[in-house]
Amino acid sequence: VLPHSFRSALVARLSGARWRVGYGRNGRSALLNHRVPSLTKERDVHGNWQIRPEPMVKHYLHITRAIGCLGANTSEELFYRPGIGEAVDRLLAERGIDRAKRLIGVNPGASFGSSKMWGAERFAALADRLAEDLGAEILLFGGPGEEPILDEIRGKMRAKAHFFGPQDATLATLKAFVDRLDLLVTNDTGPRHYAVAFDKPAVVIMGPTDPRYTDVNMELTEVLRRDVPCGPCHLRVCPIDHKCMTEIGPDEVFGKVQELLETAEFRLKKVLKRKKRA
């Protein structure tokens, strides 16, 4: 039982599952018949006790190892059908995207909430620099409900960019899109993990989240964040000034993109060594 909620353990108990394995937290110990010991605790920014953050993949591997899956490791893998890749290739050709140029993806949305979003104005300024200074083809992606921020970025940009909304960048096709990129710039949201799975460089702009939850397989990932007194708060909407995001400027992100592109080949060798050891 991976979620920590009482409800998830109750559902497992009512399902009749013979073995119910998970962390014995939130009053649900009696619903599990194999309890994984809880880890070290610390107080969060709100003063509440929490398990000390660690990469979520490692956190869940404690559960799988408790049931005998000793060979599991932290490497991420994703797959998509060949037909999906062919469809994405056709779409790129139809949009007139020059595959000889660098393809840089930009993911400005975040379904979690506005606290994870860097903002349309900053993304537009960054995308202009990526197109004009690096000569890159810019692909902007948006999921369901994120059309407004794509439209706002489109209205603020000088340079040409290619916009792929939820009808184009579905959960299935986005994997193939990311697999064709030279680099992804994204908020701290799902597509950053696609980049890791496909060994693609990624610059992640992080706001209210504790970076320790995702601090694994970071050879090709650069995280930009600010330490602020109120963070990491994990709130969906910032109730004050959102400084954890607004203090990060387009020039800083652009510099990190350049650095990552220049060192990507060396970093990829580290990824391949890790996977060979796994």
Q: Could you tell me if 172 and 79 are in contact, meaning their C-beta atoms sit under 8 angstroms apart?
A: no
pTM equals 0.92
- Which pLDDT tens digit goes with each residue over 97-119? 999 999 999 999 999 999 999 99
Identify the bridge partners of residue 41 per DSSP, sorted by sequence position: 51
Q: What CATH number has the domain spanning 82-277?
A: 3.40.50.2000
Q: What is the pLDDT tens value at each position of the chain, 278 positions in all?
A: 999 999 999 999 999 999 999 998 889 999 999 999 877 888 898 898 888 899 999 999 999 988 888 877 889 999 999 999 999 999 999 999 999 999 999 999 999 999 999 999 999 999 999 999 999 999 999 999 999 999 999 999 999 999 999 999 999 999 999 999 999 999 999 999 999 999 999 999 999 999 999 999 999 999 999 999 999 999 999 999 999 999 999 999 999 999 999 999 999 999 999 998 87
- Which pLDDT tens digit goes with each residue over 20-54? 999 988 899 999 999 998 778 888 988 988 888 99
CA nearest neighbour of 99 among 183, 198, 182 = 182
CA nearest neighbour of 182 among 253, 265, 90, 276 = 265
CA 53 to chain CA centroid, nearest Å: 17
Q: Is the dihedral of CA 268, 272, 274, 278 positive or negative?
A: positive
- Which residue ranges make up each domain of the chain? 6-66, 82-277
